[in-house]
Structure 1
């Protein structure tokens, strides 16, 4: 299993039937310390020569933040006697006590042992005992919801009727039509009772998992999605069938009838700003709008994981992308990656029946507006302005914290690990003090995004000021939602929670710690500072 440099395996849960009884065993062959494996709340670096397993039922991802390829030998197994003996002697990640160390397995000079291979791995007709096991497991994983008791009753009745059919027909083909009628009727009943709006603790939809484990697998008659459910779609998070998730209860009437230039992404909205402008707080707030879908975080690896988009594949020039970079192959891959990762405020994927309303936020997108317009024909943009003194001060703190490192092996760079977006002309900053580096990052990002926005129709973008957002979040969010055509049904008080990337408590005067590095450089960019303020005035 290969993972290129500056790429990722996006966050996902392995839901399909294949993974219900199998584990994925990883043997790192070629890797570096910059490869991070995240599972649930944990994170490890799997070292070369080690052996790891993990819980595929939890949301997991892999980030390769270096430029070198990572290669793992991977085996999927239900486990034999020897495997379980090894597993019983294993330990979870964390500090190792003196009483346990990894067991080294030396190369064997003898003949390789005979291997057992699977020959049976899915039922033709699922036994009632297996069917009940899946149902009990999934109900135990469900997030509490007042609709669950009625669903439990319906699933119990389904299991009892399946048992009766099994007692009569077993796996005989003559009974298949009766099994099929029961499956179809049960699916319709569950959807009518609201199962499409129930989630699991791992953020997967209950209906999606029940379909993968039971409804698509209980009868292999070629009529349902059983063939796809049997396969290892590792990492794939395709939306469930359209019937699995009801359409939103309300939609903006005008957008439902208007002709779309893009039948999949309807007016996707991109927040653009220099780094540390407060975009995460604004993004996390707007992500609570009704009917809005996001990938939940920034899209660094989602975009740069597409062949040809990572700086390492572009002579490390910068993060700047233009319309001509959006080839058919690139645009198709990127749209598919976004669509597969989108979730609404309740953790549900798009229903597949309507064009999706997407919200996206990544500071590097300040350099990608023409590219995004080419990939998403209906793209709209929100420009977030913040006092540049505060931005530069926060950027200096971010560089020094080491929490925003982007390109740890940037060729020729001699300073601290490059953080935040990679701006055009970065090589001219080799040897420059940190204050100069962040000032040039802000200048490049701001100048680029303003030029690109002002080339668009006025109706395709809007501005918001960070201080005005903090002063009256309810009014500012309502203004943005009205412009975007989103529904807003939440009440915001005067104090918003800290965003996930906050380093220290907010303070409008915090930048003064770096005043000597900031003020002289801003004086040299006065015209751009004033231009940004004018654009954000309303």
Structure 2
């Protein structure tokens, strides 16, 4: 939502696909998860990524490049070392709503066009490795099938989205709604820890529920933080609605909500709105 809002304003650009996690993984393919440690942020990798961002800026004629790869939340110290002058927008949302929303992505059908758009930004030398991983994932999904909302056990055969270091173990011991909740939990906790200590001119916290309740006010605050206050008047706020707030509990049902609240009470108290 925020990425689309920002890039609707003049002077802001991004990639023409949803995420570029495979670009971030360049030079670290031996790390089987997304928690890439800070010491892996080498000068050579920093140069490679800065050139990649510069190409986007030139292609979109933008002063600001917006990046929203979700897995970055698991490796903020690594990202900070690569882009020490970057500004961060930390958006947080009720964890129960976030879980219900994320579960839809875990079960989304394979989209060839979307995959091909992301493939354009895979470093050429990394392409064979990522292609093999994709084929393996599709084969596993075809052989084992994927869960749906009505499946009682709700186990999953493959992983979607940000991967904590122990994602395989989590996958073995938790059904889908718990996996999606733990994924949210790890992302917000590790992002907050990694962003700790940043000065006010590099970090802005946005509460989803507050933003969708008054998107014009939220947009003004956002563009002021990014140093382009005049852009707020050109941003497409009309598409932002508050209709998803609170729907997670009705989608998941009381039994699942009770389990998730017990599983992450402290995180919900710190970051959630429920």
Give 1:461 deviation, angstroms: 0.7
Matched, 1:443 2:181: no
Q: Confirm or deny that 1:292 pairs with 2:12.
A: yes
TM-score (norm 2): 0.74
For the pair 1:416 / 2:157, whether they are aligned, the reply is: yes
Q: 1:532 aligns with which of 267, 271, 274?
A: 271
Aligned-pair CA distance for 1:522? 2.3
CA distance in 1, matches of 2:70, 2:3: 11
| Structure 1 contact 522–529 (Cα < 8 Å) conserved | yes
Q: How does 1:130-145 map to 2 (within 5 A)?
A: none
Measured in 2, the distance between the counterparts of 1:493 and 1:443 equals: 30
1:146-165 maps to which residues of 2 (within 5 A)?
none
Greater Rg over alpha carbons, structure: 1
Quote how far apart the aligned CAs of 1:521 are: 1.7
Query: What are the Cα deviations for residues 459-503 of structure 1, in whole angstroms up to 9, with x where unaligned?
Result: 3211111122212111101101111102315356874169xxxxx
| Larger RCO, structure (CA 8 Å, separation 6 or more) | 2
The 1:518/1:399 distance shift into structure 2, 3 A limit, reads farther
Change in CA separation of 1:289 and 1:522 when aligned onto 2, cut-off 3 Å: same
Match of 2:24 in 1: 303
Report how far residue 294 of structure 1 moved. 2.1
Name 1:17's counterpart in structure 2: none
Gaps of 5+ in 1: 1-280, 351-355, 499-504
Q: Is the 8 A contact 1:471 1:494 kept in 2?
A: no
Gap change, CA 1:387 and 1:379, over 3 Å in 2: same
**Distance apart, 1:531 and its partner CA:** 1.4
Shift of 1:299: 1.5
Deviation at 1:511, TM superposition (A): 4.4
- Cα shift at 1:417: 2.3
Contact 2:8–2:234 (CA under 8 A) maintained in structure 1 = no
Match of 1:180 in 2: none
1:512 CA drift (Å): 1.8
1:119-268, aligned counterparts within 5 Å? Answer: none
The equivalent residue for 1:325 is 40
Report the equivalent of 1:462. Answer: 204
Tell whether the 8 Å contact from 1:380 to 1:461 is kept in structure 2 after alignment.
yes
Name the SS of the counterpart of 1:421 in structure 2: coil
Report what 1:376 is aligned to: 83
- Distance in 2 (CA, whole Å) between partners of 1:493 and 1:291 is 14
1:512–1:452 distance in 2 versus 1, CA, 3 Å: same
Q: In structure 1, how many angstroms separate the alpha carbons of the residues matched to 2:269 and 2:104?
A: 24
TM-aligned CA deviation for residue 319 of structure 1 = 0.5
Q: Which runs of 5+ in 2 are unaligned?
A: 116-129, 145-155
1:283 shift after superposition:
0.7
Equivalent position SS for 2:107: helix
Within the candidate set 367, 381, 399, 2:106 is matched to: 399
Question: What's the CA shift for 1:335?
Answer: 1.3
CA distance in 2 between counterparts of 1:293 and 1:368 reads 23
Bigger share in helix: 2
> Whole-Å Cα distance in 1 between the matches of residues 222 and 236 of structure 2?
17
- Give the aligned partner of residue 68 of structure 1: none
The residue number in structure 1 matching 2:260 is 521
Give 1:423 deviation, angstroms. 1.3
Q: Distance between the aligned counterparts of 2:180 and 2:9, measured in 1?
A: 33
2:223 is aligned with 1:484: no
Q: 1:443 and 1:426 mapped to 2: Cα distance?
A: 13
Offset at residue 284 of structure 1 (A): 0.6
Aligned-pair CA distance for 1:326 = 1.0
Offset at residue 403 of structure 1 (A): 5.0
**Count of matched residue pairs:** 233
Distance in 2 of aligned mates of 1:427 and 1:455 = 31
